[in-house]
């Protein structure tokens, strides 16, 4: 059995960062929150899938998926519905598991009080968004690839009380 991966090192804009796993309880809430937010996006994309947008793609693969104006429009119209408070919470939780690798050691990107813990982030939108995305993808991808949903759903079905 392979040991679980507890962190991931990334480089963004010439700076090195370490991204750690969410605490289980925070990660669970973020997963529920993101699923609730993303479900309308998937729903809005279904007509595009059914219209043959992916007719050349292999089943279960997004390798041939073409992002066009219709897809971008559908996604952006739903992303505009995210409440600022929800976005801020998700971004804060994501940034709290990010650390910059400095010569003196790892420095937290976001302090517990919500202030940045490293220099030159308060006005670097691209770096902050990059870290947010890396943290969310690193922490949640395995759940959507089957280790989470695949294990939970059969358990819920088989634990039915008669």
pLDDT in tens, 26-78: 899 988 888 887 777 777 666 766 666 545 545 544 445 455 566 666 666 76
pLDDT in tens, 121-160: 999 999 999 999 899 888 887 766 554 444 444 443 343 4
What residues does 101 pair with on adjacent strands? Answer: 106
- DSSP designation for 116: B
- DSSP designation for 115: S
**pLDDT for 24 beyond 70:** yes
Q: Which helix (H) or strand (E) holds 132?
A: helix 125-142
- DSSP designation for 55: T
Domain boundaries, the chain: 10-156
Across the chain, mean pLDDT equals 78
Report the distance separating Cα 51 and Cα 66, nearest Å. Answer: 13
Local structure of 19: helix, strand or coil: strand
What residues does 116 pair with on adjacent strands? Answer: 110
- pLDDT at position 21: 95
What residues does 107 pair with on adjacent strands? Answer: 100
């Amino acid at each position: 059995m392979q040991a679980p991966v507890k962190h991931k090192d990334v480089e963004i804009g010439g700076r090195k960062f370490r991204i750690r796993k969410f605490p289980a309880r925070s990660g669970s809430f973020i997963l529920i929150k993101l699923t609730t937010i993303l479900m309308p996006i998937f729903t809005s994309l279904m007509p595009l899938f059914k219209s043959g947008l992916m007719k050349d793609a292999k089943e279960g693969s997004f390798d041939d998926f073409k992002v066009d104006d219709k897809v971008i429009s559908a996604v952006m119209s739903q992303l505009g519905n995210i409440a600022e408070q929800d976005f801020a919470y998700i971004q804060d939780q994501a940034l709290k598991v990010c650390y910059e690798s400095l010569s003196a050691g790892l420095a937290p990107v976001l302090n517990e009080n919500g202030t940045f813990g490293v220099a030159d982030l308060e006005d670097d939108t691209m770096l902050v968004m990059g870290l947010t995305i890396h943290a969310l993808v690193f922490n949640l991808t395995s759940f959507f690839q089957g280790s989470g949903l695949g294990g939970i759903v059969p358990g819920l079905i088989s634990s039915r009380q008669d």
